[in-house]
Structure 1
Amino acid sequence: MAEPKAKLLVIEDDEGLQRQLKWAYEDWDVVAAGNRAEAIALLRSEEPQVATLDLGLPPDPDGTSEGFATLAEMLRLKPDLKVVVASGHGRRESAQAAIAGGAWDFYQKPIDIDELHLIVRRAFHVRALEQENRRLSEAGTAEGGPFGGLMTAAPEMTKTLRTLERVAATQVSVMLQGASGTGKELLAKGLHAASDRADGPFVAINCAAIPETLLEAELFGHEKGAFTGAVKTVEGKIELAGGGTLFLDEVGDIPLALQVKLLRFVQERVIERVGGRKAIPVDVRIVTATHRDLAAMIAEESFREDLYYRLAEIVVPIPTLAERTGDAALLARHFLGRFAAEMNPRVAGFAPDAVAALEAHAWPGNVRELENRMKRAVIMAEGKRVRAADLDLDAPEADDDRDLINLKTVREIADRKAIRRAIARTGGNISNAAKLLGISRPTLYDLLKQYELQG
């Protein structure tokens, strides 16, 4: 049984143009309205995903007041509706007002059917991606397993999670190698939760955040009277992690002298507290993380090679946010929803320049930077949509005119981009990618062949 077509609402008072659009939009199930009342009734009964809206509706066909009122009411009832607004009245002013009012895109009349078709197709694609992102987010929160706290749809991060799931059941020492802000502690917690030590403690210590003079006592504990201020015996992090997982974050920052004592523990699984003489056995699984180049440190003799091979039985590289296909937009929408609910409820989405800026930015600070920028953007946003300026990012320059020779070229660029993203988001599953794009699997195979893309 064929899947039902996605639904498009066309709001246009010209009945001849209504019929023309219905004929042109055969890819979708089209319903048409000639005024605000009809549009709202169809919005309630048909629940379209995308709508095209002519601002010049009766009783103000020569103005825009009724069109903007229709836009506001539709988005109030269905905030995730993608509305493409068309108008011949004051292009710049109407476009700015439409985007500020929550429209997804703006189109200047007179209508070019092919070009508007491309814009509508993009709107359906974005709507499908957002639905998939919400599904992934809900699945990750409710039933995503040990790594449910990490939100991703990127094949690069999915590969990392699969690796961690495979090694979780073993007792090997795992080293997470990645830049700051890539979620190494979250992954370490997931590794612990997926292991047979999940009922035991997860104890984390950031080796770079503790002064060298205190780090030994933090790791190994100390006996009463071991040093000035040691008024009682204190168990260290290693001992506290007994029966569970010890996570040593930024392990590359452990001083060379302390590495010798850590190596002895890793080899023999016994410790001695500072100031003590008693050997204390500790059963613990060790997970480490670092952003440093430990191979270079070994060459410089600032990190022990024997300790490295004890701690890095399996090394798992963590991709940066820039390397995680599509995750910047996915996480940005997640943070938008969270921060808007807390600080600015009227913010409901992104302006086109913000989406372009999110995709173009290199994210040197990774997820931590994205979270901070989204918090700032929600606070600074003056309208319903976050703009690039709210993110404190520059909107990327428009494509070179040489890339826009004709509509066929524009369509090919859009198709290539959409296909690559869909395949990336579905981990290379052609059937799921086709569903995400709203086309059949044979059609997607034809497009892959036509554009010489890898499936």
Structure 2
Amino acid sequence: MAHILVVDDEKNYRTVLGQLLADEGHRVSTADNPFAALELLSREQVALILSDLKMPRMNGLEFLQRVQADFGAIPFVMLTAFATVETALETMKAGAFDYLLKPFNNQEILLVVEKALAYARLESENDALRRQLKQSVEHEILGRSPAIRRLLEDISRVAPARTSVLITGETGTGKELVARALHRASPREAGPLVTVNCAAFAETLLESELFGHERGAFTGASERKRGLLEVADGGTLFLDEIGEFPLPLQAKLLRVLQERRFRRVGGTAEIESDVRIITATHRDLREMIAAGGFREDLFYRLNVVTLQVPPLREHPEDIPLLATEFLRRFAGELGRPVADLAPPTLEALQRHGWPGNVRELQNVIERGMLFCTGNALQPEDLPEPLGTPREQAGALPWLTLGRPLPELLEEVEGELIRKALVSARGVQAQAAELLGISRSNLQYKLKKYRLE
């Protein structure tokens, strides 16, 4: 049961309330003033506070505000013998869960306590869900930019509902990751997540895949087949590239959204499916509606909530984080020792416009690691025109005028030291020999440029 704190300067009320709640199986602590209560709260966690309003030195409202400031949103029930409409409004406005009049009815007290504890449990479950969402989403949707933070906040609000979601964004932005995050942070997480790329199927095949078919429904249908709407029962169906969904099938999908039931191809039996439908597209569905290529009523059913995934060019500050993560991931998959991005490589990545978005960045890093011969990805390892052609790799093309000469010279020196270390496979004595300097001088410069 719950740990409940009773705060009242009248011993009689503390005793009665304590015994009443203890008889219900609760653990009860009491305090005769708010200062003693605050000291107890600093040592122990409580699930609910019952407090008198009128107390010397600190009244109940002041006590409530101190609790909220120091210990967060603990459900708080105010007890008073001097209730007025103004007092009640002030109490509720301050954040109290409820208030009760003295002398109180035992059943009334127990009912309010039960409601307050149920509210606390719900809040605790919501907090756990939000933490779970944060862990699961941030594991795949990487970024610290305002654009990505807004997207993560929107996902956290939408995920717990059954509401249909339309995810929009350019190709390669990570729309499927958003769909996966919505599923994993929802009450349907234990159910299946079924993904369908609508552009990958011909119309007749897509109908059979989604709705299933009965034996003999068409040539080649030698046995009954369950559709993906049945497979996804209790979970989530993600329809990627919904803009490619055939117009003749859109009415059947609309019926699924409206009635949660459908028929297999060639069948007459009604099949119910408890499935949340999430869709994604890089196309403008409103333009398709105007052109007669998409049903307006289906659009509004799918578009209850829209999540817009920003293109990479709108949050370039996330490129270093994304590139580093891809570097780490592919180092494990490819068994390569590459562990860093050379500064000019990072500059080249940040200059690029990324028309293919995050997917293009991922492919660039994977391709670069296949060609990299050292421990750091260099510009010449990147594909053209993003990287430096290998025959021009020694031209230091990232150097630009407009900066002090000493700064440019330090950048050249640092890059030459990196290249020497790569050529010498990390052996400092050989690198020093290539540079024509002593090993001690090389070690000094390694510290100077933080290349240890």
- Structure 1 runs, 4 residues or longer, greater than 3 Å off: 140-143, 341-346, 394-401, 403-408
Aligned pairs (5 A) from 1:374-453 = 374-392=365-383, 393-394=386-387, 401=401, 403-404=402-403
For 2:300 and 2:133, locate their aligned partners in 1 and report how far apart those are by CA, in whole Å.
Answer: 37
Structure with the greater relative contact order (CA < 8 A, sep ≥ 6): 1 or 2?
A: 1
- Is the CA contact (8 Å cut-off) linking 2:213 and 2:227 kept in structure 1? yes
Does residue 234 (structure 1) correspond to residue 219 (structure 2)? The answer is no
Separation of aligned partners in 1, 2:400 and 2:213: 66
2:214–2:223 CA contact under 8 A, matched in 1: yes
What SS is found at the alignment partner of 2:379?
A: coil
The 1:304–1:358 alpha-carbon spacing in structure 2 relative to 1, beyond 3 Å, is same
8 Å Cα contact 1:251/1:290 also seen in 2: yes
> Which residue of 2 is the match for residue 56 of structure 1?
none
Query: Offset at 1:345?
Result: 3.3
| Shift of residue 333, structure 1, vs aligned partner | 1.1
Partner amino acid, structure 1, of 2:183: H
Q: Over aligned residue pairs, what C-alpha RMSD do you find?
A: 2.4
Contact 2:344–2:378 at 8 Å: present in 1 too?
yes
Q: What residue in structure 1 maps to residue 22 of structure 2?
A: none
- The corresponding residue for 2:128 is none
Deviation at 1:199, TM superposition (A): 1.6
Structure 2 CA distance for aligned equivalents of residues 334 and 386 of structure 1: 13
Q: Which residue in the other structure is 2:294 paired with? A: 303
Q: Write the deviation string for residues 81-118 of structure 1: whole angstroms up to 9, x where unpaired.
A: xxxxxxxxxxxxxxxxxxxxxxxxxxxxxxxxxxxxxx
* Counterpart residue identity of residue 186, structure 1: L
Distance 1:380 1:163, change over 3 A: same
> 2-side partners of 1:269 and 1:372: how far apart?
40
SS in structure 2 opposite 1:248? strand
From the superposition, tell whether residues 141 and 375 of structure 1 become closer, same or farther in structure 2 (CA, over 3 Å): farther
Letter in 2 for 1:333: T
How do 1:143-182 residues align onto structure 2 when only pairs under 5 Å count? 144-182=135-173
Distance 1:142 1:157, change over 3 A: closer
Stretches of structure 1 lacking an aligned partner (at least 5 in a row)? 1-139, 409-455
Query: Which structure has the larger Rg over C-alpha atoms?
Result: 2
Q: 1:190 aligns with which of 175, 181, 188?
A: 181
Question: What is the alpha-carbon distance in structure 2 between the residues aligned to residue 162 and residue 142 of structure 1?
Answer: 10
Instruction: Report the residue type matching 2:248 in the other structure.
Output: A
Identity across matched positions, percent: 48
Q: CA deviation at 1:382?
A: 2.3
Aligned to 1:218: 209
What secondary structure is seen at the aligned counterpart in 2 of 1:161? helix
Structure 2 unaligned runs (5+)? 1-130, 389-395, 408-452
2:380 and 2:219 map into 1 onto residues whose CA distance is 54
The answer to whether 1:204 aligns with 2:203 is: no
Letter in 2 for 1:281: E
Distance 1:400-1:384 versus aligned 2 partners, 3 A rule: closer
Q: How many residues align?
A: 268
C-alpha distance in 1 between matches for 2:139 and 2:365: 22
Instruction: Render the CA deviation track for 1:233-277: whole Å, top value 9, x for unaligned.
Output: 111111111111111111110111111111122111110000001
Match of residue 324, structure 1, among 303, 309, 315: 315
Residues 146 and 354 from structure 1, CA distance in 2 versus in 1: closer, same or farther, beyond 3 angstroms? Answer: closer
What's the TM-score, normalizing by structure 1? Answer: 0.55
CA apart distance, 1:405: 7.0
Distance in 2, matches of 1:234 and 1:180, equals 32
Q: Is 1:248 paired with 2:239?
A: yes
Q: Which residue of 1 aligns with 2:325?
A: 334
Question: What is the alpha-carbon distance in structure 2 between the residues aligned to residue 398 and residue 371 of structure 1?
Answer: 22
Q: For residues 257 and 320 of structure 1, what CA distance do their matches in structure 2 show?
A: 32
* 8 Å Cα contact 1:269-1:282 kept in structure 2: yes
Following superposition, the deviation at residue 206 of structure 1 comes to 0.7
The within-5 A match list for 1:22-61 is none
Cα gap change, 1:275/1:157 in structure 2, threshold over 3 Å: closer, same or farther? same
TM-score scaled to structure 2, two decimals? Answer: 0.56
Taking a change above 3 Å as real, the CA distance of residues 407 and 312 of structure 1, as seen in their structure-2 partners, is farther
Measured at CA, do residues 286 and 147 of structure 1 come closer, stay the same or move farther in structure 2, by a change above 3 Å? farther
Structure 1 position 338, deviation (Å):
2.4
* C-alpha distance 164-341 of structure 1, shift in aligned 2 (>3 A): closer
CA spacing shift, 1:213–1:156, aligned 2, 3 Å: same
Distance in structure 2 (CA, Å) of the matches to 1:202 and 1:147: 19
